[in-house]
Amino acid sequence: MVLFTFCATFLCTFVLPLSLFLAAVKLWEIYCISGRDRSCGSPLPPGSMGLPFLGETLQLVLQRYKFLKMKVRKYGHIYKTHLFGSPTVRIMGAENVKQILLGEHKLVSVQWPASVRTILGAGCLSSLHDSEHKQRKRVILKAFSREALENYMPVMGEEIRGGLSRWLENGSCVLVYPEMKRLMFGIATRILLGFEPSQTNPRTQHELIEAFEEMIRNLFSLPIDVPFSGLYRGLKARNVIHAKIEENIRKKVARREGAGQFKDALQLLIEHSEQSDQPLQLQELKESATELLFGGHETTASTATSLVAFLALHPEVVQKVRRELQEQGLLCSDLKENKQMTIEVLEQLKYTGSVIKETLRLRPPVPGGFRVALKTFVINGYQIPKGWNVIYSICDTHDVATNFSNKDEFNPDRFMEGCPEKDACRFSYIPFGGGSRSCVGKEFAKILLKIFTVELVRSCDWQLLNGPPMMKTNPTVYPVDNLPTRFTPFPCKNMTY
């Protein structure tokens, strides 16, 4: 009797729940695979779909780098999974990515996870389609014209020099990543949203940055809006940002910019809305402004932080940058005979540009992009069923590119004239995406990063206090230790290179 009771207890406590769980997992796999288009003869990609309903979202969120590397080792350059509530195919490699990026509106369409769409909103550029996307992009591109970028440059230089001065005054240890985000946030709010310095005093700026970081941390979360969930926290932070942007929009509408006065991206959107047969609602303006703020500061802060790290680890590269600046009359920031910084002058800094390109190759700030299959199609011998999500990986595409020699090595010379790697397949190097969905602010980012590099190397020497950083992604790339660094003044006078 005792043995019977023990066996019954064991079965009910352990065996039955385990059997039910395994059965649920098997039924989940069958359900997910049943999405295969049977009219297509090609198989689904290899891979696993994870736990019932949750899929593999938790593994991705908790173990991002380790999880993704394991998947690539196990399944190769294309595999299936289940993320953020949808069956998903993740791809990498130049030829695979090319098919996705050039298949916009024919094979695929942009579709970010539900949490991203909920927090950023349906009115932002990255969520629009077809004619709406083209029209909005055309308006925003006016804010990134050559003339507009030329007008931005004095503000960029002023903000960057102020930031570097603070770092030099610190004298001991600067946590570069949070300081970089503060610096790039100030630039983005002034240039893209037209915030005046008086609107972003240190306290207000700190509150906005805190809210923005909370929103970004919860962009990719389970789409469950209940108190204390990631989505709930992200929306709450988003509302703080929207309130400040709305205040600025109302001031702009009431003030009316004068003729010939410089106009920021938000002002152009407001004017376009007023002149349109279908004017943008206030909510759509706030969503577009929030997206500009994300693209204009989060990604540049990530790349600029990586620049500081790579240059600190490669002093010979810093010397070559300084030699180029000296040749162009730009080395010493306090010399009156220095050239005025213009786009034409920046275009002459070929090696400095190559340093930025190499940084973006090794550490693209955005790891990839999201699409949804408009119809069933085949890629690399596997079918992508209609309705499935597609993630194309930027970082892994760079990692697996075969046209870059010694690809783990930081070598800006690979992008200089005469190097065969410079003209490699354009889909092997996609830090700004590609096709009709390429980053609308990429020229803005390139100029901002180049000005930052110039000001950094001609005013500072610096040393990483923890050595090479360990990197993490959430959702952009950043150093886990925030990159503690000591900055000292660079004695540029009478230097010869």
Q: Reduce the secondary structure of the chain to three states and give it as a string.
A: CHHHHHHHHHHHHHHHHHHHHHHHHHHHHHHHHCCCCCCCCCCCCCECCCECCCECHHHHHHCHHHHHHHHHHHHCCEEEEEECCEEEEEECCHHHHHHHHCCECCCEEECCCHHHHHHHCCCCHHHCCHHHHHHHHHHHHHCCCHHHHHHHHHHHHHHHHHHHHHHHHHCCCEEHHHHHHHHHHHHHHHHCCCCCHHHHCHHHHHHHHHHHHHHHHCCCCCCCCCCCCHHHHHHHHHHHHHHHHHHHHHHHHHHCCCCCCCCCHHHHHHHHHHHCCCCCCHHHHHHHHHHHHHHHHHHHHHHHHHHHHHHHHCHHHHHHHHHHHHHCCCCCCCCCCCCCCCHHHHHCCHHHHHHHHHHHHHCCCCCEEEEEECCCEEECCEEECCCCEEEEEHHHHHHHCCCCCCCCCCCHHHHCCCCHHHHCCHHHCCCCCCHHHCCCCHHHHHHHHHHHHHHHHHHEEEEECCCCCCEEECCCEEECCCCEEEEEECCCCCCCC
Number of domains in the chain: 2
Residue 494 lies in a domain: no
Residue 46 lies in a domain: yes
Same domain flag for 30 and 41: no
Q: What was the pLDDT predicted at 302?
A: 95
pTM confidence score: 0.86
Q: What was the pLDDT predicted at 124?
A: 81
Same domain flag for 89 and 2: no
Same domain flag for 146 and 272: yes
Q: Residue 3 belongs to what domain range? A: 1-34
Same domain flag for 29 and 102: no
Q: What was the pLDDT predicted at 16?
A: 56
- Going from the first residue of the chain to its last (497 residues), give the mean pLDDT of each consecutive group of 10, the final group possibly shorter: 57 57 55 70 91 81 82 93 89 94 90 85 79 80 86 91 92 91 90 73 78 86 82 90 88 68 76 72 84 85 96 97 92 60 92 96 92 94 94 93 90 87 79 86 94 95 94 88 95 57
Same domain flag for 50 and 116: yes
- Residue 269's domain is classified under what CATH number? 1.10.630.10
Q: What was the pLDDT predicted at 12?
A: 60
Q: What was the pLDDT predicted at 336?
A: 46
Same domain flag for 292 and 276: yes
Residue 90 lies in a domain: yes
Residue 495 lies in a domain: no
Q: What was the pLDDT predicted at 335?
A: 46
